[in-house]
Homo-oligomer: A and B are copies of this chain.
Amino acid sequence: MEVRDLISERGERYLGWLIEACSIPSLAEQPDGLVEMAAWVEQHLRDLGGTTERLSYEGAPDAILGKLGSGERSLLIYDHYDVQPVDPIELWSTKPFDPAMNDGYIYARGVADNKGDLVARLAALEVYRDIHGELPFALKFLVEGEEETGSRSFEAIVERYGDRLQADGCIWEGNQVDHAGRPDIVFGAKGLAYVELNCRLLKDDQHSSRAVVAPSAAWRMIEALRTLRDPSGRVLIDGFYDDVVEPTDDDLAMLDALPFDEDAERERLGVEEFIGGATGLEFKRRYFYEPTCNVAGFVTGFTVPGSSKTVLPKEAMAKLDIRLVPDQDPHDIVDKLRAHLDARGFTDITIDKFSMEHPVRSPRDSLVGRAAVQAGRDVFEMEPVVAPMMIGTGPMYPIAHTLGIPTVSPGGIHHPGSNIHAPNENARVDDFLKIIEYTVEYLRLFGELDA
């Protein structure tokens, strides 16, 4: 029987698994849900004939490591069983943990990020076994539970259990299938330094008449921020670009071949043009290779729209999310931010670190990389979209850099309208079944291609 036919025959069964997984509220705010979901993953890996162990780290939900198959080669798969919070809950049309089917779509928190891929991969292992027999390589299926809160313990877990995770290749959680139905395949991720800046200059908020003699935390923060970036988007933090690795000719060739519908993106954003009027190769270079310093949030004083209150705010708070490219180091960047502010006298602005993720790139001609691209071409019957890095962030660095495992994030279940991290998260049933088939194929190729 063909792979595709078997998946079609078992569609309801695998969809049942997905609905079951999406019914479990596995998020940081509901620790019981995390525990239940970890057990669910464990049970499914065992049902597939695997052995499992828990990778524990103080204060973190256990990561699950399942092992199946044997052979000379070894493959690590990375997914996560936790999901984003559901707020703003009032914008959901259905209940986030009561999966709803409508017109070929499944709506549920986590269905696209990343339970859809996780379940599709579990299903693919069953299909592989029933069509091709036992896996001819050692598969290590790693599923962590802290990704959506920044994988704070993941580096420590990899350090503690690195010898059990070592492999010849790594399949990272799924990337999107694009608007044209092509699998997006990437070989790395941007990094992130997320910091909160706080400035407090007064005991209490004051009537704004006092602004004439009392210092303003609002102005202070605005003055400090304004030194960090110029209007073209260039980051002005002293030394910010020191460790940036410029794209090679090969990288630029990859970008040149990469399809990108700029009109659709402008339409989606609602803009006339991109920053600096970038287009074509220059647009793609910026998109994948430029770091950014973004103000994710800023609040001070009285902020009710359409109403007036005259207050001199005692404090101001800004959140910066600084996206990094190889080889910038998030901790080094925060040190540079501190030094930059200090050098300009802004010693009264504090910096607190939140998510800190290293950027990372992996080679695209590795065995696992070639398997993902060729399987994409075969199963989707279209040329995959191959890009150097995802422009978002994931904790890929400890695997791809520290352990040095060639890593690829193949096409996955989510599509451009999946509302990842947002209300009404959704995935298409057809994509779910397609990702099962795609997974079976790259597993087969990983076992068979020349090294």
Which A residues fall within an 8 A CB radius of B?
150, 190, 192, 194, 196, 201-204, 206-216, 218-219, 222-223, 225-226, 229, 231, 233, 265, 268-271, 274-275, 278, 283, 286-287, 290, 292, 294-303, 305-313, 316-317, 319, 321, 323, 352, 354-355, 390-393, 420-421
The answer to whether B269 and A214 touch across the interface, beta carbons within 8 angstroms, is: yes
Contact partner, A271, options B201, B268, B296, Cβ 8 Å: B201
Q: Are A296 and B309 in contact (CB under 8 A)?
A: yes
CA distance A270 to B217 in the complex (A): 13
Whether B292 lies near A297 (C-beta < 8 A) is no
Q: Which of B271, B286, B297 contacts A212 (CB 8 A)?
A: B286
Q: A274-B213, A305-B196, A317-B305 are in contact. Are A294 and B312 (CB under 8 A)?
A: yes
Contacts A190-B209, A211-B292, A308-B150 given: A297-B303 contact, CB under 8 Å?
yes
Besides A214-B274, A305-B317, A310-B393, 17 more A-B contacts (Cβ < 8 Å) are A192-B310, A196-B306, A202-B270, A203-B269, A209-B390, A209-B392, A210-B391, A212-B233, A213-B278, A213-B286, A216-B294, A222-B226, A222-B298, A294-B310, A295-B300, A296-B301, A299-B300
Q: How far is the CA of A268 from the CA of B307 in the complex (A)?
A: 28
Minimum C-beta distance from A34 to chain B (A): 18
Of all chain B residues, which has the CB nearest A195?
A: B308
Known A212-B290, A271-B215; judge A313-B301 contact (CB<8 A): no
Residue of B nearest to A209 (CB): B391
Return A179 CB to nearest CB of chain B, in Å: 15
Query: In whole angstroms, what is the CA distance A420 to B420 when docked?
Result: 46
A303 and B295 contact, CB distance less than 8 A: no
CB distance from A432 to the nearest CB of B (A): 22
A269 x B210 contact (CB < 8 A): yes
Nearest-neighbor residue (CB-CB) of A323 within chain B: B209
Known: A219-B229, A274-B213, A287-B212. A194 touches B295 (CB 8 A): no
Contacts of A319 in B (CB 8 A): 301-303, 308-309
